[in-house]
Chains A and B, each alone.
Chain A
Amino acid sequence: DADVTQTPRNRITKTGKRIMLECSQTKGHDRMYWYRQDPGLGLRLIYYSFDVKDINKGEISDGYSVSRQAQAKFSLSLESAIPNQTALYFCATMAVAGGPGTGELFFGEGSRLTVL
């Protein structure tokens, strides 16, 4: 089945370290997203991309950067991790308007990051 795959699934790191979370998808969707989930705060959008040349900031982009290496790959980087970036991170994809599954977000399994 077509899917959204995130690596690593769990990561523990120290303050100041550089961390990259990777996302790949076989759904053939153009749009890719990174969300952060914190208890009591829901899902908050960090960055989103329409294609390899189109990257957009979400509501909480400070402290994060992204790279869209190919239509199927979208990575999230924390250049210098800090403890309040401890969270569950989700990658997601969405079909372009008018295509199958349009409007529905398809999430990966999540990457749990702990910054000590």
Chain B
Amino acid sequence: GENVEQHPSTLSVQEGDSAVIKCTYSDSASNYFPWYKQELGKRPQLIIDIRSNVGEKKDQRIAVTLNKTAKHFSLHITETQPEDSAVYFCAASLSFGNEKLTFGTGTRLTIIP
């Protein structure tokens, strides 16, 4: 089955700086890669996703890049703010709408004021 590795497990950045979280996946057939954000004590929520026919996708201060050849994808957060502090999970599945998402182990991002 699919295996998703996520790094780093913890990340601290100064407010205003950029943060990058990286994930690798094992199944070359995977085609859908979402990112979920979980604030302290809250439920995970989808923040951005990318499909394999796209190399990069942006939504305001967040962006995701995908390298299918190398089987890795990354989350980029620019101009970080205190509300970006959370645990971020990457995930992979065989297709958009596929019932089985495999999640990475999570990255705890702390924004230092």
SS class of chain B's interface: helix, strand, loop or mixed? loop
Q: State whether A104 and B46 are in contact (beta carbons under 8 Å apart), knowing that A41-B105, A42-B6 are contacts in the complex.
A: yes
Q: Is the CB of B43 within 8 A of A109?
A: yes
* A107 neighbours in B (Cβ, 8 Å): 43-45
Q: Is the CB of B97 within 8 A of A48?
A: no
* B99 neighbours in A (Cβ, 8 Å): 31, 48, 50, 56, 94
Q: Is the CB of A90 within 8 A of B103?
A: no
Question: In the complex the two chains form, what is the Cα distance from A110 to B44 in whole Å?
Answer: 10
Interface size class of A (residues with CB under 8 A): 20 to 34
Interface size class of B (residues with CB under 8 A): 20 to 34
Question: In the complex the two chains form, what is the Cα distance from A53 to B96 in whole Å?
Answer: 23
Is B89 part of the contact surface with A, judged by Cβ < 8 Å? yes
Question: In the complex the two chains form, what is the Cα distance from A31 to B42 in whole Å?
Answer: 22
Is A44 part of the contact surface with B, judged by Cβ < 8 Å? yes
Q: Which residue of A lies closest to B97 (CB)?
A: A97
Partner of A104, one of B9, B34, B98, B102: B34
The 8 A CB mask of A77-116 against B (1 = contact, 0 = none) is 0000000000000100011111000111101111000000
Interface residues of chain B, those whose CB is within 8 Å of chain A, are 1, 6, 9, 32, 34, 36, 42-46, 49, 89, 96-106
